[in-house]
Structure 1
Amino acid sequence: MKKGFTMIELIFVIVILGILASVAIPRLAATRTDAEIATTVSNLRTLISDLSSYYVVKGEFGNAKWGDVTNVPVRRGNKKPAQQEKVTDGEYDGVYYLSAGGINCIAFRVKDRAGARPAYIEIAKTGSEQNNGICPDIINAEPIKAFLDLRVPNVTPIEKGGAGVITFGSSTTIY
């Protein structure tokens, strides 16, 4: 008598492995999405904290570059890293982005109000949240939604009704 597996036994093993894979793969994909959302929320919190700390210590942003202020990966619209660009650029500050999954999901700009204190950051949704990518999940995350609802008196955000504003050095935080 020969020792080994019969063809029927091998087919059953392959079918069982296929069933297990069909259950495990979607769960792994969901875990990756959850990790991207958590990373983006964490990056936003860190960015706000770093900017606020820098502003409180220095009193202004002046000629500070992103790489001097934070390690959060900040991008320009063309997805070019902005670590060597100035945080603020005069009265008409540039818009920068936080990306997730290679898509710019959150737009923000920093205003260092000369003569009128304090400086502030405004955060807005981008047009990317309409895609089927990860942006809708990020925009709907509770900490991001809470931040987008923040308002500061006498500050008009980039996009009325779609942006939140937080002043640096204030006690306002997002959870």
Structure 2
Amino acid sequence: MKKGFTMIELIFVIVILGILASVAIPRLAATRTDAEIATTVSNIRTLISDLSSYYVVKGEFGNAKWRDVTNVPVRLGNKQLVKNNTPIVTTADYNGAYYLQAGGLNCLVIRVKDRDGARPAYIEIAKTRSEQNKGICPDIINAEPIKAFLDLRVPGVTPIEEGGAGVIVFESSISIY
């Protein structure tokens, strides 16, 4: 008598493996999305903390460069990684805007403004207009810490990005949690 598996037994095993794979693969993709959201939230927290610490120590941003303040990767509008010697505060291209990417998209725009007369120094984080509804961006924008921040308004400071921008004034104790 020959020992081995029949064709029916092999087909059942393949069907069972197919069912298990169809359940596991979507869960794996969801885990990857959750990790990307968590990384973006962590990067924003780190960026705010680093910028706040620098401002507390120096009292102004002046000609501060990204390498002097943080190692959070930010990009210019053309998706080029910002070089370490790029000034934090600039009014050059993109209206002084830098972008925090997630999933290869510019989901959030970041602007750092130094003290200007009576206006305090602040950081503005806003939804990007062009990519806010693409890919992973809606999930990041609707993440609870980001959503709470984007809804934040500070009296006397009007963000450049109307309708979807949050502002942290460095002289205050407001923080993202």
- Coarse TM-score class (shorter-chain normalised): over 0.9
Give the structure 2 partner of residue 143 of structure 1: 145
Name segments (4+ residues, structure 1) moved above 2 Å: 90-93, 114-118
Listed as ranges, the matches of 1:9-158 within 5 Å are: 9-82=9-82, 83-89=84-90, 94-116=96-118, 118-127=120-129, 128-131=131-134, 133-158=135-160
Q: Does the 8 Å contact 1:118/1:167 carry over to 2?
A: yes
Q: Does the 8 Å contact 2:63/2:87 carry over to 1?
A: yes
Q: Which structure 2 residue ranges, 5 or more long, are not aligned?
A: none
RMSD: 1.6
Q: Which structure 1 residue ranges, 5 or more long, are not aligned?
A: none
Q: Does the 8 Å contact 1:97/1:106 carry over to 2?
A: yes
CA-CA distance at 1:116 after TM superposition: 3.7
Distance, in Å, in 2 between the alignment partners of 1:79 and 1:159 is 19
With 88-97 and 52-61 compared, the bigger mean Cα shift is at: 88-97
CA-CA distance at 1:161 after TM superposition: 2.4
Distance, in Å, in 1 between the alignment partners of 2:39 and 2:107 is 13
Q: Deviations over 1:49-87 (max 9, x none)?
A: 000000000111111111211111111101111133100
Listed as ranges, the matches of 1:159-174 within 5 Å are: 159-174=161-176
Q: Deviations over 1:92-127 (max 9, x none)?
A: 951001000110000010000244463100111012
Distance, in Å, in 2 between the alignment partners of 1:105 and 1:90 is 21
Distance, in Å, in 1 between the alignment partners of 2:148 and 2:136 is 18
CA-CA distance at 1:130 after TM superposition: 1.7
Distance, in Å, in 1 between the alignment partners of 2:103 and 2:25 is 19
TM-score (norm 2): 0.92
TM-score (norm 1): 0.93
Distance, in Å, in 1 between the alignment partners of 2:91 and 2:22 is 54
Q: Does the 8 Å contact 1:125/1:139 carry over to 2?
A: yes
CA-CA distance at 1:90 after TM superposition: 5.4
CA-CA distance at 1:24 after TM superposition: 0.2
Letter of the aligned partner of 2:64 in structure 1?
A: A
Q: Deviations over 1:22-49 (max 9, x none)?
A: 0000000001001111111111111000
Distance, in Å, in 1 between the alignment partners of 2:159 and 2:92 is 14
Q: How many residues align?
A: 174
